[in-house]
């Protein structure tokens, strides 16, 4: 599985539809300060379901919509499509290519699509949940975050690694299962007491 292309339209500094084709391996985006390199990364976070405006370096979510420049009027909507090569079947869907689209209007209304079919954000989150590229997977490390990771306490650093490796999800499930077992044991004990009383 690899990211194949990213199309942005009306998103931050990208007023016109712009497509970046990504090949397997390392892709570098270079350009002068303020030319929109980080906006490309923000577009990837956003289309994958990012809900926090701060994580996208804005004050409110509407800030992702092209706000206009001296020579160009503001736009009414932002749209990003991320196409993922799924020939290895890493994503649990019967398509060798998967396109995820997110669209947002100034009214605040959002739309999501998988391969052109309208869906819920939850469907996208579920599709990506075991792929390692979903939201909160620490796949995108922003400027300054690396410093934070390097200077984090060992136990915090361990949780970054566990989350990236997909272990955290299983640890949380295990903790939930243990809590359920404990509640079940308490019920069994209570049942035992009642049986003794009734004898």
d(CA 63, CA 57): 9
- Asked if 33 interacts with ligand ATP (CB under 6 A), we say yes
- Asked if 71 interacts with ligand ATP (CB under 6 A), we say no
34 among annotated binding-site residues: yes
Handedness of CA 133, 136, 141, 143 (dihedral sign): positive
Q: Which two tokens stand for residue 108?
A: 């605040």
C-beta separation of 162 from 137 below 8 A: no
Query: In whole angstroms, how close is the CB of 4 to ligand ATP at the nearest point?
Result: 22
- Asked if 66 interacts with ligand ATP (CB under 6 A), we say yes
- Asked if 63 interacts with ligand ATP (CB under 6 A), we say yes
- Asked if 38 interacts with ligand ATP (CB under 6 A), we say yes
- Asked if 55 interacts with ligand ATP (CB under 6 A), we say no
> Which 13-32 positions form the footprint of ligand ATP (CB under 6 A)?
13, 31
Q: Which helix (H) or strand (E) holds 79?
A: strand 77-85
- Asked if 53 interacts with ligand ATP (CB under 6 A), we say no
DSSP 98-114: EEEEEEEETTS-EEEEE
C-beta separation of 169 from 137 below 8 A: no
- Asked if 144 interacts with ligand ATP (CB under 6 A), we say no
Please select the residue that binds ligand ATP; options are 53, 55, 67, 90, rule is CB under 6 A. Answer: 67
Query: In whole angstroms, how close is the CB of 13 to ligand ATP at the nearest point?
Result: 4
d(CA 86, CA 91): 6
Q: Which residues bind ligand ATP (CB under 6 A)?
A: 12-13, 31, 33-39, 63, 65-67
């Amino acid at each position: 599985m690899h990211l194949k292309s990213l199309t942005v339209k009306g998103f931050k500094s990208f007023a016109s539809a712009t497509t970046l084709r990504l090949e397997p391996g390392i892709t570098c985006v270079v350009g002068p300060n303020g030319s929109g390199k980080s906006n490309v990364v923000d577009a990837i976070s956003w289309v994958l379901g990012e809900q926090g405006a701060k994580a996208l370096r804005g004050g409110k979510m509407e800030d992702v919509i092209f706000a206009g420049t001296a020579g160009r009027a503001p736009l009414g909507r932002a749209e990003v499509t991320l196409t993922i090569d799924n020939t290895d079947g890493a994503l649990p869907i019967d398509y060798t290519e998967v396109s995820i689209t997110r669209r947002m209007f100034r009214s605040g209304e959002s739309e999501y699509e998988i391969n052109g079919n309208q869906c819920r954000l939850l469907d996208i989150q579920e599709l990506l949940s075991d792929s390692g590229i979903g939201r909160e997977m620490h796949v995108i490390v922003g400027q300054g975050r690396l410093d934070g990771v390097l200077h984090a306490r060992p136990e915090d650093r361990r949780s970054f690694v566990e989350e990236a490796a997909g272990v955290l999800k299983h640890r949380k499930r295990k903790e939930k299962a243990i809590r359920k077992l404990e509640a079940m044991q308490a019920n069994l004990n209570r049942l035992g007491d009642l049986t003794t009383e009734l004898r």
